[in-house]
Amino acid sequence: MLKKSILSIAALVMIVSLLAGCGGGKDSTAGGSAGDIKVGVLFSLSGSLAVTEKGMANAALLAIEEINAAGGINGRSISAVQEDYASEPSGAATKAKKLLQQDKVAAIVGGYTSASRQAMLPIVEQANGVLVYPTFYEGQEYSKNIIYTGATPNQQLQEFVPWLMDNVGKKVYFIGSDYVYPVETNKQVKELLKLNGGEVVGEEYVPLGQSEFASVINKIKEAAPDVIFSDLVGDSVAAFYKQYKSYGLDPAVMPIASPVTAESEVVSMGADVAAGHISSSAYFQTVDTPENAKFVEAYRAKYGENEPITQVIEATYFSTLLLAEALKKAEDVTDAEAVIGAFAGLEMKAPQGTVKIDPENNHAWLNSRIGKVGADGQFEIVQSTSEPIYPEPWAKILYPEHEKPWKK
Amino acid sequence: MGIMQQVADGISVAGILVIIALGLGITFGVMKIINMAHGELIMIGAYVTYLVCTEGKMPFVLGMIVSFLVTALVGLLLERFVLRRLYGRPLETLLATFGISLFLQQLIRMLFGPDGKSVVSPFQGVLMIGEVAAPYFRLFIVAIAIVMVLTTAYVMHKTKFGIQLRSVSQNRDMCECLGINTSKVDAYTFGFGAGLAGLAGSILAPIKSVSPTMGLDYLIDSFMVVVLGGVGSLMGTLFGSAAMGESNQLLTTFMGETGAKIVVFLLIILVIRFKPEGLFRMERR
C-alpha cells in the first residue's frame, strides 16, 4: 500500500513538472543580445486553431528573418519571442501579458479568432503595448493599442456583392456557421443586396462543426437561388462543398460564393469539388505582383512546396514588415504611442499590392479580389481593385451615424 | 413540398449514424467502456483511407479494408496497454480514453499537418426517383450500413466468438469458471469495435471533412444513438439511429438546423427520463 502511494506521488510530481515544462519552455529567443528589439509572435501552434495559425506564425518568422537580413531596425536586429496560446482565448491573454511584462517586447504580432483578440485587448491596453492583429474580422472595434491589418467586412464585400449581382444572379441564399462573424457579415451583405437590387431567398445558420447538410441542400434546391452565399467556417466548409457536389448541383448554375473559403479549405475538399466556386479576398496565392512571386518562393523554400498560402498568412507577413517600418520611424521603440503614431499613414508594396495604415482608425487600406477556383485548385482572379479600399470598422451602410471612437 | 426528399435524406442520415455508432454500440454497449476516443478512431480510419486512396491511388474498397484492419490494430493495442488495466473503473476509463483522444488528435496533426485532407468520392451522380434525389454515394452508405448491421448481428449471434463475447459481458466469473479466456475475448471485442469505427471514418471521408478535429462531432452523435437505442442492443443502435436521423431531418423542415438539434436533444432527454434503459432494453436475468 505504501509503495503504491509513493509511486502515485512520484507520478504526480512527474506530471506537474512536465506541465510546467510545457508552460514556459516554448521560447525560441535566439539568444537575443541587449541591443536586439524583441517582437512577440503569438499564435496557436497546438489545438484546433493550429490549422491556420501555424502558417501565420511561419509568415511572421519569415518576415523577421528578412528584416534582419536587410540590416534590421536602424542597425539593431529583431529577435522573435514565440509563444503558443494553444487555441484558448484565455491563454492568449496570459501569454500576451507574459510577452509585454516579462519579455518587454516592443510589439506583439498575433491573434486569429475574434475571441483571442478580445481576450488580449484589455491586457494590451492596460500594459500600454502594441498588438498587430492580422486577421479579417467582423469589425466594430477600435483600440488605440491595436493595429488591425486584416480586412473589415466592407473591404471584402463592397466589390464582391455587386459583382455577384452583375455576373451571377440576384437571388441569394445564405448559409453560415452560427456565431458573430457570419451574422454580422450577412447583415452587411443584405444591405448591399438592397442597394443593388438583390433578393434574399433563404437564410440558414448551422451549429459550429456541423457536417451534415442534406437538409440544407434540399432547402436550397427548393428556393432555387442564383448564388449561395456561405460564411461557414472550420470543418463545415469541406463537408458542405462535398455534399453540394454529391447532390449533383452545378457551380456553373448555382455557385457558392464565400468570403471565408480560401486556399487551405480548397485543399481539404479537393480541387474537383471546389472547381467553379467563387471567393472574395484581399489576397490569393495567384496574385501577379513581383512582391508576391518573391514571397511565395521564399515561403515555399522555407516551409515546403505544398503549403497553401492564404490571405491571413500574407497579411501576417506584410504586417510584420510594416511593423519593422514603424519601429524604424518611431523615436523610441519602447513607447507604444510613438510606435502606433509611426504606423499612421505608413504605406508599402505588399504581396497583395499597395496597402497602407489609415492615419485615423488604425485599420489597413486593403485590396479586394474575386477569385474562381480552377481545375488545379488555385484561384483564377476574375476581378481586382486598382486602388486599396478604405477600412470601415463600422460599415457606413449599416451604421451611418456611428460616432468614431478614434475621434475622441 | 419536399417532405419525401427529407424522409429519404433522413434514411441516409440514419445510415451514417448507424455506421458511426455501431463500433461504439459494441465497446460501450457490450463492454461498458466509456470510450471518449471513439471519434478519434473514426478519424484514424478516415486518414488511412486518405493515405490509401488519395496518396496511394488505390481503389476505395481497399481503403475501407485497410482502415478496418489498421484501426482494429490500434484498438487491440489500446486494449492491451491501457484499458485492460481499467476494467470496472468507468471514471478512470473515461479519463484515460479522453487523454488518448487528445494524444491521437495531436499525433495526426504532427504526422499530416493541421490542414484538412480530401478523399475523392468513388460514386458520382444522383439517382432520381420521381422528385426525390438520391446521390449514389448516399445509397451506398445506406447499403453499407445494412451490410454492417447484418454482419455484426451474424458475428454476435452465430459465431463462437460472438457467443463468448455475449456470455462474458453477462457473467464474466462464470465464463472464466467454464474455461473461456476472457481477456482474449475482451481484446478481440474492443479490436472489432474499433475496427468498425475505422470503417465508419473510411466510408464518410468522401462526404465529410477529414481533419484532426473531425472526431468530436461523431463522438457526441454516436453516444446519443447508443444511449437512446438502449445500451447493449444491436437493434437499439439501429432504431436509435433511425429515430434520430429522421426526427432531425424532418424537424429541420420547420425550424433551422440549430433548432432541430435542440429539439432532438430535448426528446432524447425525455426518453432517457422515462425509459432510462433506452428504447430497446436487453432482457437480463
First-to-last alpha carbon distance for chain A, in angstroms, is: 69
- A188-210: average pLDDT: 91
Interface test with A, best of B257, B261, B264, B265 (most A CBs within 10 A): B257
User: Does the pLDDT of residue A198 top 50, yes or no?
Assistant: yes
> Which residues in B lie closer than 8 A to residue A273 (C-beta atoms)?
118
CB of B138 within 8 Å of any CB in chain A? yes
pLDDT category, A128, cuts 50, 70, 90?
A: very high
Lowest mean pLDDT among A45-54, A339-348, B6-15: A45-54
Q: Does one domain contain both A307 and A334?
A: yes
Q: How many domains does chain A have?
A: 2
Q: Does one domain contain both A89 and A229?
A: no
User: Does the pLDDT of residue A2 top 50, yes or no?
Assistant: no
Provide the b/e sequence for A166-199 (b: ≥16 CB within 10 Å). eebbbbbbbbbbebebbbbbbebbbbbbeeeebe
Cβ–Cβ gap A221/B2 under 8 Å: yes
> Which residues in B lie closer than 8 A to residue A268 (C-beta atoms)?
115-118, 209-211
* Highest mean pLDDT (candidates A72-76, A129-133, B113-117): A129-133
Q: Does one domain contain both A208 and A241?
A: yes
- A18-22: average pLDDT: 44
A3 part of a folded domain: no
pLDDT tens digits, A49-79: 777 788 999 999 999 999 999 999 988 999 9
| SS3 (DSSP) at B253 | helix
A228 part of a folded domain: yes
pLDDT category, A27, cuts 50, 70, 90?
A: very low
Q: Looking at residue A5, what is its pLDDT? A: 52
- A261-275: average pLDDT: 90
Q: Does one domain contain both A191 and A166?
A: yes
Give kind and range of the element (H or E) at residue A326.
Answer: helix A311-329
User: Does the pLDDT of residue A339 top 60, yes or no?
Assistant: yes
Residue A259: partners with Cβ closer than 8 Å, 6 or more residues away: A136, A153, A156, A157, A160, A185, A231, A279, A280, A281
A249 part of a folded domain: yes
Which CATH number characterizes residue A165's domain? 3.40.50.2300
Partner residue opposite B133 with nearest CB, options A247, A270, A272: A247
Q: Does one domain contain both A139 and A268?
A: no
Q: Does one domain contain both A336 and A381?
A: no
Q: Does one domain contain both A54 and A200?
A: no
Predicted TM-score of the model (pTM): 0.84
| Topology of the domain covering B3-270 | ABC transporter involved in vitamin B12 uptake, BtuC (1.10.3470)
Strands (E), B72-199: 126-129, 132-135
A398 part of a folded domain: yes
Q: Looking at residue A408, what is its pLDDT? A: 66
Q: Looking at residue A34, what is its pLDDT? A: 52
CB of B249 within 8 Å of any CB in chain A? yes
Q: Looking at residue B281, what is its pLDDT? A: 66
Q: Does one domain contain both A219 and A297?
A: no
**C-beta separation of B42 from B201 below 8 A:** yes
CB of B120 within 8 Å of any CB in chain A? yes
CB of B117 within 8 Å of any CB in chain A? yes
Q: Looking at residue B259, what is its pLDDT? A: 87
Residue, of B251 and A20, whose pLDDT is higher: B251
The count of other CB atoms within 10 Å of the CB of residue A108 is 29
| Domain limits for position A171 | 155-282+370-407
pLDDT category, A249, cuts 50, 70, 90?
A: very high
Cβ–Cβ gap B2/A222 under 8 Å: yes
Q: Looking at residue B131, what is its pLDDT? A: 81
User: Does the pLDDT of residue A23 top 80, yes or no?
Assistant: no
- Helices vs strands, H then E, count in chain A: 14, 15
Mean pLDDT score of chain A, rounded to an integer?
88
Provide the b/e sequence for A259-288 (b: ≥16 CB within 10 Å). bbbbbbbbbbbbbebbbbbbbbbbbbbbbe
Sequence ranges of the domains in chain B: 3-270
* Highest mean pLDDT (candidates A276-280, B31-35, B259-263, B271-275): A276-280
pLDDT tens digits, B193-205: 999 999 999 999 9
Partner residue opposite A246 with nearest CB, options B116, B121, B212: B121
Q: Looking at residue A179, what is its pLDDT? A: 84
User: Does the pLDDT of residue B169 top 70, yes or no?
Assistant: yes
Q: Looking at residue A32, what is its pLDDT? A: 42
Q: Looking at residue A30, what is its pLDDT? A: 41
> Which residues in B lie closer than 8 A to residue A175 (C-beta atoms)?
none
Q: Does one domain contain both A387 and A402?
A: yes
Interface pTM (ipTM) of the complex? Answer: 0.84
A9 part of a folded domain: no
Q: Looking at residue B87, what is its pLDDT? A: 84
- B59-87: average pLDDT: 94
User: Does the pLDDT of residue A291 top 90, yes or no?
Assistant: yes
User: Does the pLDDT of residue A13 top 70, yes or no?
Assistant: no
Q: Does one domain contain both A394 and A278?
A: yes
- B94-108: average pLDDT: 93
**C-beta separation of A318 from A364 below 8 A:** no
Lowest mean pLDDT among A370-384, B39-53, B81-95: B81-95
